[in-house]
Structure 1
């Protein structure tokens, strides 16, 4: 058995149930093209390549797979058909929300909250650390957004503590990182360093993260 989920630009549907029914018939004329939809689709296929056999509408990113249906809707919505018990279902609304998309479940006829947590709150192996990089000009935005995710009141005192923190750092040296705690729930340790001669900042986020939180932070690092 399987079930469907739909994703479209946030706020685009005044009647989500009716829109989902139209999209099931590939009638997406009410939706405008939106680059965020393509970016979300690309991220889905990057994280879960097996979704290439379960994603709609057809797009050239599916490679040699035989085209089906309309080929002009991929920048308007994403639909996936998943088997019951698919492990990462609860992550998808959070990931979609990070790209500015709504998530709709036609089985329960409801929009899904981007802030929903999975019922299984286990910490999964490999998610104790998330890494990436951002431009130096986006560092404060990154820290403020991560703080929002964990309920930490990031303020001007935090910014003052970070002033000049990157001077002398080196992401190629084990002892070349500056670390800063964010005392939220869960508490996270942010490690920052700059590659020699670079204007970007390497970032590592360490802590007890479930899959949803780790996905949000990883996506944030990807889009900043």
Structure 2
């Protein structure tokens, strides 16, 4: 026996039951892509890897699992088909709410809007840092998007400061990394260094990261 749960950007469902029926058939073309959905999905799979066999729609983050259905909807909604007795069901609405997503249980007809969750239930686990890599052509895009997440106004002066900054960096030499502050909330330090002999730039983001922000940055690194 199993049951379904759905998660979508808050406020989009005039009729949650009808929307859930449509999503079960992967009819989500009128839902706008939202990076928060991908970030929530990434955290689900990070915290509970077994959900890879219970999550929809299909996305490349499922690795070697055989594709099914549409592959272009992972940034629109998340669906879960869970076995009865799965122990962490009660944690999911709070986690979704931390990403600005509503939760809907079609079995009971209960919709839990993100804004209805009390602040103390929102995700606040701290993360020491996030690391990964991007192609050199995507460094500016990375910094602009992280700046957007933390409310920092990244502009042309920031790009000027980056001109030539990576020329003498080497990701195998800690002292050679270039560090750039993004003075948002929270303030973050983005470390950048070229990987010798390639067009890849290693990235490390340090600061007062909570789980939600860290997962959004991890997802961004995966997508760029």
Q: Please tell me the TM-score bracket, short chain as reference.
A: 0.5 to 0.7
- Residues 147-162 of structure 1 aligned to structure 2 (within 5 Å): 147-162=147-162
Gaps of 5+ in 2: none
C-alpha change, 1:146 and 1:21, in structure 2 (3 Å) is same
Distance 1:20 1:156 in 2: 44
Give 1:159 deviation, angstroms: 0.8
Structure with more of its chain in helix, by fraction:
2
Distance 1:209 1:203 in 2: 15
Distance 2:188 2:212 in 1: 15
Distance 1:143 1:117 in 2: 28
| Residue equivalent to 1:140 | 140
Aligned with 1:86 (options 79, 83, 91): 91
Distance 1:163 1:173 in 2: 20
* CA RMSD between the two structures: 4.2
| Residue equivalent to 1:68 | none
Aligned with 2:27 (options 27, 30, 39): 30
Gaps of 5+ in 1: 65-70, 98-102
C-alpha change, 1:106 and 1:186, in structure 2 (3 Å) is same
TM-score, length of structure 1 as denominator length: 0.68
- Residues 45-124 of structure 1 aligned to structure 2 (within 5 Å): 46-47=45-46, 48-52=48-52, 54-55=54-55, 72=69, 78-80=78-80, 81=82, 83-86=88-91, 89-90=94-95, 94=99, 103-107=101-105, 108-109=110-111, 112=114, 119-120=121-122, 122-124=124-126
C-alpha change, 1:91 and 1:187, in structure 2 (3 Å) is farther
Q: Is the 8 A contact 2:135 2:200 kept in 1?
A: yes
Give 1:87 deviation, angstroms: 7.1
